[in-house]
Structure 1
Amino acid sequence: MRDAAGPARARLPVRLHAVVRRAADRPPGSRAGVPSAAARGVRRRGAPHAPPPRVRPSGPGAVPSSGERRVPASTEAASLGPRPRGRHRSRPRDRAARIGRHRARASARGALARRVDRARARRGRSERVSRAVVLAAPAKVNLTLEVLARRPDGYRELASVFATVDVRDRVRVAPSRVLDVRVSPDVGAAVEDELATRAVRALAQALGRPAAAHVRVAKRIPVAAGLGGGSSDAGAVLRGLARIWRLDGVDLCAVGAGIGSDVPFFASGAAFALVTGRGERIEPLPSPQASLWVALVRIRARVATAAVFARYRGSRAAAHDSAALSEAFRNGGATPEVVRAHLVNDLLDIAEDVAPAIRDARALAERAGVPLALSGSGPSLFAVADDRADAIRIARRLRRAGLDARPRRLGFTP
């Protein structure tokens, strides 16, 4: 059938709709896409000849304002009324909100117990300990150790060239209202007998102030091994206290001399030094251009320095090797060959009698072709290498001989 009122169009029974062929009736040059409702010929069911939909006029009000709905809401939605955005909350968060009052500010009393202002408390604690300092306390070896005449005060006059080693303890010093010193692992000495404790007391007494400080020492240097571990800790404590107490012009070496013979060297912070007197006179020496390396041998024994000095009966008229080696450091000629030529330790024979393990270790090293020198009063031994690679080779050779040897660099600056 044809519709006389319009273009040729098939009339179909009710509930049957014509198939729209979009490409067939598209004018030339038109774009492909979804046709409008008028072009599609979509009509309401039961009204096949309904007029085309009304077009919104242009002009004022044509563009919807902010918040205006372009599609009208349904009757059911309109009956509910406006709703706020966000997640629905079933009930107020606290009692004050339920009864319509603002939540009161928490009381300052007991606030920490209620976990209030915890961040402020942490910030206060960090400010209180912000002046803490952490220092390295290196070990040492004696490249020379010459014992001279006895002094009027009963001590021996010494001359020794000291060199720090890159084996070190870790010392932390912080302000405190009390004296709190702890050493870990426990070395078996009472806290009052620790050189770190004596360092705090000695410096406080020299300044006329209370002996109060927080000190923690993490040990890595073997105890009573001739490497100056306890003295190095005391020197680090003195340097740390000088920083947190803001001291200027205080002679830390003089304070350290009252604690122990090796403490002034560590308090000075020097990498190499000529030490004379009872240990209180320190002359820092320049480091050589090329790093000095040793193979450090640890002996599983403890030697008391006082016991070795008590048995020593010799006496030198002059310290020739210490003077020659220190001069080589000053002139930049402290090569491994020069250092090996001046290695001397007057306490070696007595130390071997006190600790026979020293003699046994030196004999094993001699069979391996490595001569070993004694550090301090022992029992630690070392061999001077040409360089790092040579130190690794020597240490490997000594380990094959059954000794605990490791390559170490000299001249560590704390």
Structure 2
Amino acid sequence: MKILSRAKLNLYLDITGKDQSDGYHYINSLFQEISLADEISIEAADADSIEFRGIDVPGTDTTVHRALRMFRDTTGIMQKYRIVTDKHIPTGAGLGGGSSNAAAVLTALAEMHEIPAREMVPLGARIGSDVPFFFTGGLCRVRGKGEVIEPLAGRLDGLHFIVAYPDIHISTKWAYSLIDEYGTGLTEDEILKKRAIDIDFLRKIMYNRFQGKIFDEEEKLSALKEKLDLELRADISMMSGSGSSLFFVYESERIRDEVFEIIKNIFNYRFFRCDPVYRTER
């Protein structure tokens, strides 16, 4: 079985508190699934084999390893598998690649054994706070510790992205350690009613509490964003998640494509041309 494991962008991200009992933070965010994706193949085998290609993902405690272990512990199914992940989503980038991989593997395993995918969501939440979103995808309001997923009826209206990864790995744990004050979250309830989210509305709500904190510590990243803002001619830009990926939003697909063809040969960074993804028709 082959399955796509897509990335996400945080169009809005605030930290609203912390659970002192377990140390996890509460978030209020807008997640948008995008077309940048890893490709995962899973097949029955005589012995377990988990392989990553394209990007080195070391160790035996990756989100893919944990997803397989949790699936077995929960279902009692002891079948062996060969799992190969062709990595395109950078790691430590704020794009949710590891979380998406976990959700994709759990979804595929459930389908292979005719188990409802919804039964995998609690397992995903134990792997990481972003994992539950990837069982739903599209555009969602995400709250709590990541487990409260509210799919939105609205769609980004003719908007396109360039994602830049500057090869700076940001530890999510370290990023959260920088947060010393909390916000109230997105209070713009209009987002729940809008069917078409245009560039003006997005400009009004886009926010990332991590960005200022990370930029204070990583001056190279802050300087790069300033430079790319000048070169990429985007309508809006922001850091995604806890970083270090930066995303640039365009109303014009033609301008996005022209810029992408130019900058991919100029800068020594990885750039990705991608678009919003939705799993269901309106």
Q: Is the aligned partner of 1:347 residue 2:210? A: yes
| Alignment-mate amino acid for residue 166 of structure 2 | I
Describe the SS at the equivalent of 1:347: helix
Report the CA distance between 1:229 and its aligned residue.
1.2
Max radius of gyration: which structure? 1
Alpha-carbon distance change, 238 to 394 in structure 1, aligned in 2, over 3 angstroms = same
Report the CA distance between 1:390 and its aligned residue.
3.4
Describe the SS at the equivalent of 1:276: strand
Within 1, Cα distance between the matches of 2:34 and 2:2? Answer: 18
Describe the SS at the equivalent of 1:225: coil
What's the counterpart of residue 240 of structure 1?
Answer: 108
Work out which structure has the larger RCO, using CA pairs closer than 8 Å and 6 or more positions apart in sequence: 2
What's the counterpart of residue 373 of structure 1?
Answer: 238
Whether the aligned pair in 2 keeps the contact of 1:225 and 1:379 (CA below 8 Å) is yes
Describe the SS at the equivalent of 1:193: coil
Alpha-carbon distance change, 220 to 253 in structure 1, aligned in 2, over 3 angstroms = same
Within 2, Cα distance between the matches of 1:356 and 1:298? Answer: 15
| Alignment-mate amino acid for residue 199 of structure 2 | P
Deviation larger for 135-144 or 270-279: 270-279
- Provide Cα deviations, 1:15-67, integer angstroms capped at 9, x if missing partner: xxxxxxxxxxxxxxxxxxxxxxxxxxxxxxxxxxxxxxxxxxxxxxxxxxxxx
| Alignment-mate amino acid for residue 185 of structure 1 | G
* 1:80-91 correspondence runs (5 A): none
Whether the aligned pair in 2 keeps the contact of 1:299 and 1:357 (CA below 8 Å) is no
Whether the aligned pair in 1 keeps the contact of 2:40 and 2:86 (CA below 8 Å) is yes
- Provide Cα deviations, 1:334-380, integer angstroms capped at 9, x if missing partner: 11221122110000022224433320112213444645201011111
Within 1, Cα distance between the matches of 2:173 and 2:116? Answer: 34
Within 2, Cα distance between the matches of 1:367 and 1:186? Answer: 30
Q: Is the aligned partner of 1:409 residue 2:269? A: no
Whether the aligned pair in 1 keeps the contact of 2:158 and 2:198 (CA below 8 Å) is no
Higher strand proportion = 2
* 1:8-407 correspondence runs (5 A): 133-151=1-19, 152-176=21-45, 178-185=47-54, 187-190=56-59, 192-210=60-78, 212-248=80-116, 250-266=118-134, 268-286=135-153, 288=155, 290-316=157-183, 318-320=184-186, 323-324=188-189, 326-327=191-192, 330-368=193-231, 370=234, 371-395=236-260, 402=267, 404=269, 405-407=271-273
Whether the aligned pair in 2 keeps the contact of 1:148 and 1:319 (CA below 8 Å) is yes
Alpha-carbon distance change, 352 to 215 in structure 1, aligned in 2, over 3 angstroms = same
TM-score (norm 1): 0.61
Within 2, Cα distance between the matches of 1:274 and 1:338? Answer: 16
Alpha-carbon distance change, 250 to 410 in structure 1, aligned in 2, over 3 angstroms = closer
Give the root-mean-square deviation of aligned CA atoms: 2.5
Alpha-carbon distance change, 235 to 279 in structure 1, aligned in 2, over 3 angstroms = same
Whether the aligned pair in 1 keeps the contact of 2:44 and 2:79 (CA below 8 Å) is no
What is the number of equivalent residue pairs in this alignment? 276
Alpha-carbon distance change, 244 to 354 in structure 1, aligned in 2, over 3 angstroms = farther
Whether the aligned pair in 2 keeps the contact of 1:174 and 1:244 (CA below 8 Å) is no
Whether the aligned pair in 2 keeps the contact of 1:161 and 1:275 (CA below 8 Å) is yes
User: Tell me, which stretches of 5 or more residues in structure 2 are unaligned?
Assistant: none
| Alignment-mate amino acid for residue 32 of structure 2 | A
